[in-house]
Structure 1
């Protein structure tokens, strides 16, 4: 992973500094440098800045420049589609591939083949073209700011440092709608910036992302290309939107409030078992690609306690439990896995209510709750229960259950110092809650039980697996059940059809900026192109059935896969959003809606 930045001026004035370097360096602590390119004949200049987090192959400083003067900034991981030899660095391979492209269509074809998360900036020196964009799902952050004058025409960056209200509103996320091209020579002559968008399209040209681009305030800068010779081919199979007239009857308790493990086991017919086994296979491959291509030699050769190279954002829910169980298959057996579990301090009264509630629901777990404290939030309790399941699954593995406890004072301090800068340009109450929770979780500073004692621990893993993408594809949110109850299967399909198209702007850019601030890389196995294509190929009832009870019907195929892997009660836990499970939503004690603009994300002088 990297922090990348490019500042463009269309006048004779040189860009001499990049104001975003501090936050970019936190994303890429292993190498930092800048490169200035000035085209005197065309009167424009570009300042490129690259900051590298080294994860695979040989450390390759960025910006990378080839013998033709082309400049490349790459914040991505190639997990398929383009051959990356084991000892090679994907930045070098991608630059070689781009430089060998004979025309625009070759370049678009290359980017269409890449499987994995990416954001890139590529300068073709001889053609005076500047290319940039994000992958189909927008798994890597890239922001843009358009200047009012030729002196600061355009700035692209992974993350901005500015939190000044006047400046913050000028930054927006680059839409994950395709790849943009700017001919700097022509723009310099006109003293005006013009961009061309080559948008994603599917085989049937029906996916929303390939059909429309909301340019917002930037309409005057962007024109969209949809001709046959200028397209990016979407890397996933289109969503199966077929709804048979007669659906198979559900064997579950459709009218009960919740389902149990016995109910779930009874639902596993031969057809469901076959699909669940196929799902395990494709998801396991996605996890393997994300935990295997890491440098481990120095870690495993030491005589000291082994360090974890892989961490998981862990609540004990079905998504994180599946990732942990599959990571266990592919992470070397002698290497620990960090389970990052975040909790925000509850008031004493709320802690008592929380403890009593869980004792009523799970009387067999009363002993585990005996020493309840203000950090015994729902995700902490389910996380501990999930830990026991994982230990049963593989008792030889060292599972570092990292209890990350956050007080109100620390939350306020770190939000002011770091988090609100990273969440921008997103501004809602939900962005605040999720952004803060993910930032503290990814930091990985907490307590681990060792020899019966809680001891300080700081996760040093550079890779953080997150379960985002499961709910969006498998109807895990409450809004999906609302839509299903109102409009049936066709309405639910429409809802799911929108989910991945908007996940880049709702979640992924923000989460990448927040996790990357710790010099760590977010990886999303549920958004692996092969995983998405497999789930898209299934009929709706084969992967989710909201006529079944909560804890069963939503994410049905995932729950069945968990049973086949040997997981227990975690397979039937109901969905609980991170802001509620970690109790950060209760911490503020405000009468707010998730979609409201959050004053806590604004600088103090603007509140």
Structure 2
């Protein structure tokens, strides 16, 4: 995880004015281990590069990096597959060396077509006076752009800072391909023209999929002096996933339930599916591909970095390197069970469980907080601690996700009783929510601005901060998670019909309509979720990793016909995410396998905390910065 930024100016008086202190502060929070700036000046333009590194693997490589030819590279990504990166290597340096060796546009596109993993990047190619930038196919890493002074300057950054009353605000760079700009031409013409190299699918027979107009995914709100055009050579990036299998059954589907399912939606229903040899084989294949995805995401980090931390209570000999956004639902349970296979056995795993308390709270008496004397962790001054680690009334924090989370903890403990599972209870008061939304979260969620973005953004920010308590039989202890890597289950609902709108489409348009909905959900996940979640989690100097959006996992699920993944003729808690529920059964998690989908804004009760009559799609005034 890194904070990367490049401020481009075509006139001396506007040089670097986008790189203000508030943006730099937000970038530094993302990359606390190294900060560096580099200025590249030319007769016609000036580029100020700013890199802020969170060190996770290989040798710490300060950014930006520059080679002997004057090329400059900023990288915010993880290479999990496709390009060879040894355990001791820095993927930043590997990618930069590969880029420096590229002699043509097609070489650059070929390189990024190979990379599997989340990324955003900015690359200055000195010989051609070109600036290249973009995000991965799913948009798992944030990249924003901002244009000002009628095209005389623009800025690219992992994160921005919203200013009340300012017209030229940050917008997300669309994850529709890689962009390139000729800086000399832009300076002379006074027009900012980006060439787009879009994603296209290439079949095994080397047939190129004719995509719909990729430019339709670029934002409509660009200034008049800025335009996006297709590259003249019609070059493209190869999509890293196979197209969705939209095949429909030729004959009515047989039910796996039969007479063995006395109660629809019961464990017997799932057991009946697993008696089918073909279905059991498909489930095992799914577990294996997801297992590899989780393995890559829990092993690609430098564990020796985590051996000392004054902020974490010494509950065991080792500190957690990996945390999971944890509700006890089937998504987070399966991820936890698979992570357990690969995280070293003597290393704890942090399960981050967030609850928003509906009653106003003040700091409770110490006697009620702890049965053993413990000091609260050091909290940065800009994050005032409201003393809500433990509520006065424990029932106030027993939100739905806390209840299912505790049940999930017991199930994981039964699967592996020797593992230390740190169930971190993160309790947030209304006062703390409002204060930190105003101070931090509103700048991170933007440019997204709906009620839904507010609820999810705030819930994920507090959960990933990892400040809460550990409740054991002996004590209630304050705790701050040391984990730099946070696994999240996002992507499961989009691919496996986890939302209620999937059922609506299925009921009105059948499997054909369901296929269209699933395709649409995955196509818009970059703009709807992932940039926001990356900015929110990265604000704590931590990195979000998304196993369900591993390229091989998505390709495997896309290859299956829809009826092998879901069965929406079955009730909630069974039919949606069916293949994942069957995987949970195979992994020894029968309780969580039967839990119906519950969105984080309802499971954590943040949606009940303030205005309860809002629609999720309404513009949220609470996210607007004050003048």
Partners of 2:8 and 2:16 within 8 A in 1: no
Deviation digits for residues 143-201 of structure 1 (CA, Å, limit 9, x no counterpart): 001123354x211001112332425x621100000000000011111122111111111
Q: Aligned pair in 2 of structure 1 residues 412, 219: CA closer, same or farther (>3 Å)?
A: closer
Q: Which residue of 2 aligns with 1:273?
A: 280
Query: Which of 316, 324, 332 is the aligned partner of 1:312?
Result: 324
Q: In the aligned structure 1, how far is the partner of 2:606 from the partner of 2:257?
A: 34
> What is the alpha-carbon distance in structure 2 between the residues aligned to residue 90 and residue 45 of structure 1?
27
Distance 1:374 1:258 in 2: 33
**Partner of 2:503: helix, strand, or coil?**
helix
- Asked if the contact 2:357/2:609 (under 8 Å) is kept, the reply is yes
> For the structure 1 residues 114 and 602, does the alpha-carbon distance in structure 2 shift closer, same or farther, using more than 3 Å as the test?
same
Q: Which residue of 1 aligns with 2:255?
A: 250
* Partner of residue 240, structure 2: 235
Which residue in 1 is equivalent to 2:7?
7
Match of 1:284 among 291, 300, 325: 291
The TM-score, its normalising length taken from structure 2, stands at: 0.89
User: What residue number does 2:81 align with?
Assistant: 80
Q: Deviations over 1:516-574 (max 9, x none)?
A: 00000000000000000000000110111111111111111100011001112100100
Residue aligning to 1:186:
185
Give CA-to-partner distance per residue, 1:216-256, whole Å, 9 cap, x none: 12285233327775101100011101112224222349999
2:354 paired residue number: 342
| Contact map agreement 2:36 2:52 (CA 8 A) in 1 | yes
Residue 259 (str. 1) matches residue 259 (str. 2): no
How far 1:262 moved relative to its partner?
2.1
**Higher helix proportion, which one?**
1
Displacement of 1:604 after TM fit? 3.3
How much is the aligned-residue C-alpha RMSD, in angstroms? 2.1
On the 8 A contact 1:475/1:554 being kept in 2, the answer is: yes
Structure 1 window deviating more from structure 2 (256-265 vs 545-554): it is 256-265
What is the CA–CA distance in structure 1 between the aligned matches of 2:13 and 2:539, rounded to whole Å? 32
The Cα of 1:4 is off from its aligned counterpart by 0.6
User: Counterparts of 2:213 and 2:585 in 1: how far apart (Å)?
Assistant: 35
**1:425 maps to which residue?**
447
Provide the rounded CA distance (Å) in 2 between the counterparts of 1:573 and 1:451.
Answer: 27
Distance in 1 (CA, whole Å) between partners of 2:329 and 2:148 is: 45
Query: Distance in 2 between the 1:379 and 1:160 partners?
Result: 31
Query: Which deviations, in whole Å up to 9, do the C-alpha atoms of 1:445-489 show, x marking residues without a partner?
Result: 001024531110000100000000000000000000010000000
- Distance, in Å, in 1 between the alignment partners of 2:215 and 2:305 is 48
Q: Within 1, Cα distance between the matches of 2:306 and 2:27?
A: 26
For residues 298 and 22 of structure 1, what CA distance do their matches in structure 2 show? 23
| Structure-2 change in CA distance of 1:434 and 1:253 (3 Å) | farther
Can you give the 5+ residue segments of structure 2 that lack an aligned partner in the other structure? 203-207, 361-392
Distance 1:93 1:263, change over 3 A: same
Alignment partner of 1:276: what SS? helix
Partner of 2:199: 200
Residue in 2 that maps onto 1:214: 218
Q: Report the counterpart of residue 33 of structure 1 in structure 2.
A: 36
Q: Is the 8 A contact 2:358 2:430 kept in 1?
A: no
CA distances 1:404-448 after superposition (whole Å, capped 9, x unpaired): 000000000000000001000000000000000000000000010
Q: Distance in 2 between matches of 1:344 and 1:256?
A: 38
The alignment status of 1:489 with 2:495, answered yes or no, reads: no
For residue 364 of structure 1, what is the aligned residue in structure 2? Answer: none
Q: How does 1:92-103 map to 2 (within 5 A)?
A: 92-103=93-104
Q: What SS does the aligned partner of 2:320 have? A: coil
* Rounded Cα–Cα distance in structure 1 between residues aligned with 2:269 and 2:234: 52
The match for 2:106 is 105
Question: For 1:170, what is the secondary structure of its paired residue?
Answer: coil
Could you say if the C-alpha distance between residues 257 and 171 of structure 1 is closer, same or farther in structure 2, counting changes exceeding 3 Å? Answer: farther
Question: What is aligned with 2:58?
Answer: 57
Match of 1:534 in 2: 556
Provide the aligned length of Structure 1 versus Structure 2: 579
Q: 1:57·1:89 contact (CA, 8 Å) conserved in 2? A: yes
Alignment match, 2:334: 322
Partner of 1:46: 47
